[in-house]
Copies of this chain bind each other. A is one copy, B any other.
Amino acid sequence: MNQLDLVRELAEKAETKIVMLVADGLGGLPLEPGGRTELETAATPNLDRLAARGTSGSSIPVLPGITPGSGPGHLGLFGYDPLEFKIGRGALEATGIGFELGPEDVAARGNFCTLDAAGLITDRRAGRIASEESFRVVERLQAVKIPGVETFVRPVKEHRFVVVFRGRGLDGGVADTDPQAVGVAPLAPAPLSESARRTAEVAEEFVRQARAVLADEPKANGMVLRGFAAKPALPSYAELYGLRAAAIAVYPMYKGLARLAGMTLVGQPQSLDEQIAELARHWEQFDFFFLHFKYTDSTGEDGNFAAKVGRIEELDRALPGIERLGPDVLIVTGDHSTPSRLKSHSWHPVPTLLVADSCRPDGLAAFSERECLRGGFGLFPAKHLMLLAMAHAGRLGKFGA
């Protein structure tokens, strides 16, 4: 019996509220041997107080040593095994710009490129045209019409765009058309299986019409398509957990990931204060709240240790505003580590804290990578966190008699 079937069977209704605060890229590293991590350096009186009351641990997003992207990182936190459920590149890119994929959609990432008179690629990124120019080119592509299929083209940034085909029987099994070289023509979209033949034909027709429309463009007169993918079939929070789940996020990527899990997007917050205001405003309507805080990751990616410390302290100051609402379960975690020292996501476990009245105390006096190693949840796969959330919220029945 797998975890999803188990939780489906055991989930019970209760009048309890769960808040999961995800500080993106929370975990870190010291800058030099013997030093402290960002979290150990930050003044975090609220997190430390909560750690003394709750139970802590170190979550492993995928497997030891595996560095996750945002997609697998969040899937784990939401209780889906990231090795089982994958979000294809095209679907993730569409999700990241806030395009809501439907069940009949196949999305692909597009790059504009420059073709010569013979149709051979001279610039794989169309001179990295400015986003504004790309917006204009994408607008021209709205003229493309394919019988029996709805087509959506959306700009991303510079030469990058997303195309979504919507229609019955479409299939993401189409090969990339990027030859990864100049001096050659883009490849034809080739089906990887019989069931993707129609989708490949649709993509080919799209490219044919697009080429005609863009023939007079000086730079963006061609394109390559990559990462064809349908929306992943994730069971929803409502169906799995019986939770009315809300997502309160600033950035489209995390809104999109939450939508894939069936969460309802709440508000248009632009800051943590606004996110907490939305939380308060929608408190009665939902049982589960996913709050996403981006800046612990972006400062880490920038390699800005001090700025990451500052963002952790900002997060800490926001906690009383959440506590005031009286969540039955309050979780603080991250989707992965982003040590400023590495300027990138990493594989290191993520400090994780759960506070509820039913917590077994583990004697921690602070919230940090090192302290969490001695925490009551130990080192645990991130996909188990939702089981712990549900249990501490009194929302999981007994397994077996």
Contact = CB atoms under 8 A, between A and B. Distances in A.
A342 interface: yes
Interface stretch (A148-156, A306-314, A354-362): A354-362
Interface stretch (A200-208, A290-298, A319-327, A380-388): A380-388
Interface string A373-401: 11111111000100111111000111111
A387 B66 contact: yes
Given A64-B384, A358-B342, A360-B348, A401 B1 contact: no
Nearest to A30: B361
Interface string A58-75: 100011111111111100
A387 B37 CA distance: 23
Interface stretch (A82-90, A172-180, A262-270): A82-90
Nearest to A1: B83
Contacts of A27: 360
A363 B27 CA distance: 16
B33 A398 contact: no
A67 B358 CA distance: 13
A219 interface: no
Contacts of A68: 398-400
A396 B67 contact: yes
Interface residues of A, number: 68
Given A64-B377, A361-B370, A72 B399 contact: yes
Contact of A6 (B29, B83, B360): B83
A347 interface: yes
Nearest to A384: B64
Given A65-B390, A83-B1, A401-B69, A361 B33 contact: yes
B400 A71 contact: yes
Contact of A379 (B72, B344, B380): B380
Given A68-B398, A89-B401, A400-B72, A360 B62 contact: no
A57 to B, nearest CB: 9
Nearest to A28: B360
Contacts of A62: 399
Contact of A388 (B64, B70, B397): B64
Given A1-B83, A3-B63, A378 B373 contact: yes
A380 B380 CA distance: 10
Contact of A63 (B6, B53, B70, B348): B6
22 contacts: A1-B83, A6-B66, A27-B360, A29-B358, A62-B399, A64-B384, A64-B387, A64-B388, A65-B396, A67-B391, A67-B398, A69-B399, A72-B400, A73-B400, A89-B401, A92-B401, A347-B388, A347-B396, A361-B370, A362-B370, A362-B373, A377-B379
